[in-house]
Amino acid sequence: MLSARKLFQEILDGDESFRLFCSIAAGGESQGGWENGRIAALVPESQRALAPKIARHGADEDKHGRIFGALLRKRGLSPVEVPHETDYTMLLERRGIGLAHERLVRQDPLSEHDIITYLAHSRVTEQRASEQMRLLRRHFADHPDLGRAVRMISNDEDNHLAYCHEELLRLARAGHGRTIQRVLRRSALAEIRVYRDVSLAVMDHMGRILRWPRAKSAALAAGIHAVHAYERLGGWRRMVSLEPPARCDALGGPADREPEFA
């Protein structure tokens, strides 16, 4: 019987599958770090208080990229080129979700609407990241090689999600509620399609690397489609709700200085 733990364990046990897994994760985190860094530099005057938190968010994402790189080096592996069909961040941008690179490379300040777009996009994608890391933490928190990295990244993703809730609620109270809900809904519906497509692509690559039987690959693909069907029918709503987080001012301090040895 297939289980999340067995599936992840199989991927982690194989050098080439582990190499692809860490390369995809590192690439996405590093890209997120760059994006947050640029947004922090371009925050409009009306939202300048957000800049340190956005910078902290970016520093965390950069740290995660380094952690995945360290996990590769620890096994004597080097990164591989990320297949374009598994590039979650790039595919979201192609669907017009979040702030485009061409906007971030310019020097002119962002608008308040740009900040709402950024926070709504982050609220949706951090929901996914938080859920994925909690799954890994549930199964691998005590793993001798991965445990510390999983716990650290999972805690950071929970902080990022709390920050998005808090800031979007602040902006909703300032009169942007309808805009926020519109952007959140659009982002969530696009994200669930991209997540399905990326998941199918990743499992296809893993199946070829690990030589999975056709029946196993078909079962995994069916499971991915089932998750998308659930999310399309209403599961996406968990990504657009806003509530006061248990962790207040989660990104209000300096980046964690704890050693990153994985």
191: CATH: 1.20.1260.10
Domain assignment of residue 153, yes or no:
yes
How many residues are recorded in the chain? 262
Domain assignment of residue 253, yes or no:
no
Residues 6+ apart with CB under 8 A from 229: none
Domain assignment of residue 84, yes or no:
yes
Give me the pLDDT at residue 171, please: 97
Question: Which among 160, 60, 164 has a CA at the least distance from the CA of 115?
Answer: 164
Domain assignment of residue 252, yes or no:
no
Residues 6+ apart with CB under 8 A from 165: 123, 242, 243, 244, 245
pLDDT, tens only, 94-126: 999 999 999 999 999 999 999 999 999 999 999
Domain assignment of residue 162, yes or no:
yes
Domain assignment of residue 261, yes or no:
no
pLDDT, tens only, 154-195: 999 999 999 999 999 999 999 999 999 999 999 999 999 999
Q: Assess whether pLDDT exceeds 80 at residue 260.
A: no
Question: Which among 109, 149, 150 has a CA at the least distance from the CA of 132?
Answer: 150
Mean pLDDT, range 26-36, rounded to an integer = 96
Phi-psi region of 76 (alpha: psi -120 to 50; beta: other; left: phi over 0): left
Residue type (1 letter), 249? D
- Distance of CA 161 to CAs 64, 129, 150, 250, Å? 16, 9, 16, 9
Q: Is there a contact between 16 and 79 (Cβ–Cβ < 8 Å)?
A: no
Q: Which two tokens stand for residue 236?
A: 């996406």
Q: Assess whether pLDDT exceeds 80 at residue 24.
A: yes
Residue type (1 letter), 5? R
Residues 6+ apart with CB under 8 A from 22: 68, 69, 71, 72, 77, 79
pLDDT, tens only, 60-82: 999 999 999 999 999 999 999 99
Q: What range does the domain containing 145 cover?
A: 4-239
Total tally of structural domains belonging to the chain: 1
255 or 7, higher pLDDT: 7
Convert 85-116 to b/e letters by CB count within 10 Å (16 or more is b). ebbbbbbbbeeebbbeeeebeeeeebeeebbb
Question: Which among 27, 238, 226 has a CA at the least distance from the CA of 123?
Answer: 238
Domain assignment of residue 257, yes or no:
no
Q: Calculate the dihedral angle through the C-alpha atoms of 8, 32, 77, 71, rounding to the nearest 10 degrees.
A: -60
Query: In the 8-state DSSP scheme, what is residue 244?
Result: -
